[in-house]
Structure 1
């Protein structure tokens, strides 16, 4: 399963955190706002109650209230504010705003001199609605004694809930908008933060393709050690490869002269001469094998021009056969490795196909799932099933081809192994052999 990019991981983390943070924020703001509104409502109803208290008079046994009060909400029907006064367990007065209601003494008893604020109350005059209630009890002097008088202010909660819902809706809208803006800024910030990473990846890709020899760009201090390590690795790899090739070259020259002298002795028995020739071939082959392979830091090699050169050479070598060699290879198909290795590998396979073919050879290539696949097919006699595996053995020869088949295929097998590829032998639709070579083709890392 493919891992998520750092950018996507960061954005997903931000979204998760916002998804957890935003609801808690709205709940906290809602609670704080509701508490603030409730405290303001209690203060408002307390002032109204004090207005009733200051306007009320008791003349002997007769209570008195003015027709018009200072608090306008208590004078207007439908204002949502209702005032009630209870004396001797009877409703002796109700505000003009409460003319549409018939009041019974509320079942809210408050001791003299005390107040009571209720946030949710369903009064008997309208049990379907919720009201705020502020109650206060004061004593007034009658003709014979001090008697308690209870004052009530009722306020319909519908307007309060409407105001609260408006606040919550507005809060959600603004916080959602802020989250979108914040995510945009986070995405921009992540893009800025990851810019050095993309730059580093791009420079490594250029180095891998052979366009640069080392990392040269300036990076944040956190990347200095990484840059130095990569440059050190590149220098070490290049130095080791050069030293290895030079050592092998020296070895080849050291062995060449003694072998030439020994082989030039005409008095040697035939068996010794053949053994020396075999030793020479083994040395050359092993030297070639040791220096083969991709360093990982070189330019991709275009396949089609190499095959055209080889085909021109085969036309001259097998001119009497008048072979037709066709190619089905996209122009941009490339091989990640050494050009000499590619020449030797394709040269051996194409040479074998020309030896076996009657008249027609096709070479095709494609790049799928980061694997480069090259097909060599001919219309020759083909390879028997029991000999397909033997063909890949070192030095093995088959009667299918006239000469040289075994050592050529062994070299091909060695090169394929060095590049960690795969070699397959199948039957071709043309009637002959179908040789398939596959190589891992690591594309440059996308920035």
Structure 2
């Protein structure tokens, strides 16, 4: 399962926030606007009803309305606003806007029946009157003194919802459009902010990469104060590790010198018997290997080095050392050829492998460099008579050596394995009796001591 980066997690969280919060804002604004628009429509219809009441009169027992009303929409045939006056359960007047209008008498009769039982002076407002074709409807009653007594007169107003729904739809569409644009802009600003926030971290990571490549020794750039402790800790760790490694190497060098000197004196005795000389030589080999193991085990974080000039120099040396065999040497390696390893350790590793390859080769020795996604491989190839499968499995055991090679190879290859293990690498051996052997070392690109 792929692990998301911190940037991806934060951006996804912000995306969820936008996806949930913005629609919630839209819905709340939509509801508020719809309520406001409905209230405005109610006030508009109430104003129309009051205007009709103010213009209504009785003359000679007949309801009279002026030929042209104050509300202009009632004067226009086909208008979305239609009004009717009911008195004594009879329609006594209807607006000119009812001409060529789909708001028919049946709708007014339905409205009159729904509002007939309400008390005087009460205003009835319906927002979804007539389910098949929704309209706004308002009923207002007023009492007039007629023939010596007060009688109720109903003023009914019906307004088509087309304009209302059009305005609401336009508002919602524009709102969604602007919110979508705002959401994209916000996500873009968040992405830029995340890039700006993590840029110092990426810069530190890049500097660590440059340290690993050997380009710089410390991180000296200016960073936000929140990252100063991290910068100081990295620099202190690098400096402490370097000093510790140098102290260990110096102490081990001193120890090696103090041990080798007495051993050299003993081995220099002319009358030293073979029974004593062989154990002393064995002790000398053990000391050499254990001191080397101790040296490589203290290696911590190391920068990469360019191994091309080192390899080229070793090949030139092998050409001189084994010149009697007239071997051909081939180097397939780019410039530069980075490997995260200590230069002294690399010289010993490749030196051992090249020396063994020259001893086994018939005509040629080849070195091939390959950089993979995670590992760097360097192969030393010879065209000798090869090594058996059982010998390959035992070749790196402590103190073992092959009679087909010179004395000391067993210790040399064991040291190679020890050194590679300290770098998280390994030694692979492939051999064919007809083609020769391939000794391939593999070292991770980035390493830190375990």
TM-score for the superposition, normalised by structure 1: 0.92
Deviations 1:308-361 (A, max 9, x none): 222222222222322222233333332111111111111111121121121133
Q: Aligned residue for 1:271? A: 275
Q: Aligned residue for 1:118? A: 126
| 1:156-171 equivalent positions in 2, closer than 5 A | 156-171=160-175
Does residue 393 of the first structure (1) align with residue 401 of the second (2)?
no
Contact 2:381–2:439 (CA under 8 A) maintained in structure 1: yes
Contact 1:139–1:147 (CA under 8 A) maintained in structure 2: yes
Aligned length: 440
The alpha-carbon deviation at position 4 of structure 1 amounts to: 2.7
Deviations 1:252-311 (A, max 9, x none): 222233223323333332221232233223222322232236845444222332222222
- Partner Cα separation in structure 2 for residue 308 and residue 196 of structure 1: 39
Does residue 413 of the first structure (1) align with residue 391 of the second (2)?
no
Structure 1: stretches of 5+ with no match in the other structure: none
- Partner Cα separation in structure 2 for residue 27 and residue 334 of structure 1: 60
- Shifted more, 418-427 versus 26-35: the winner is 418-427
- Partner Cα separation in structure 2 for residue 373 and residue 428 of structure 1: 20
Decide which of 323, 335, 355 is 2:339's aligned counterpart.
335
Q: Aligned residue for 1:103? A: 105
The alpha-carbon deviation at position 2 of structure 1 amounts to: 4.4
Deviations 1:227-256 (A, max 9, x none): 333233223212211211121122122223
Q: Aligned residue for 1:64? A: 64
Going from structure 1 to structure 2, the CA distance change for 1:360 and 1:254 (only over 3 Å counts) comes to closer
Structure 2: stretches of 5+ with no match in the other structure: none
Q: Aligned residue for 1:197? A: 201
- Partner Cα separation in structure 1 for residue 300 and residue 93 of structure 2: 99
Decide which of 337, 351, 354 is 1:347's aligned counterpart.
351
- Shifted more, 128-137 versus 306-315: the winner is 306-315
Q: Aligned residue for 2:248? A: 244
The alpha-carbon deviation at position 199 of structure 1 amounts to: 2.8
C-alpha RMSD of the superposition: 2.3
- Shifted more, 378-387 versus 262-271: the winner is 262-271
Decide which of 186, 198, 217 is 1:182's aligned counterpart.
186
Does residue 219 of the first structure (1) align with residue 219 of the second (2)?
no
TM-score for the superposition, normalised by structure 2: 0.91
Does residue 432 of the first structure (1) align with residue 436 of the second (2)?
yes
The alpha-carbon deviation at position 60 of structure 1 amounts to: 4.6
The alpha-carbon deviation at position 11 of structure 1 amounts to: 2.0
SS of aligned partner of 1:354:
helix
Does residue 309 of the first structure (1) align with residue 313 of the second (2)?
yes
Q: Aligned residue for 2:50? A: 50
The alpha-carbon deviation at position 91 of structure 1 amounts to: 1.4
The alpha-carbon deviation at position 395 of structure 1 amounts to: 2.2
SS of aligned partner of 2:141:
strand
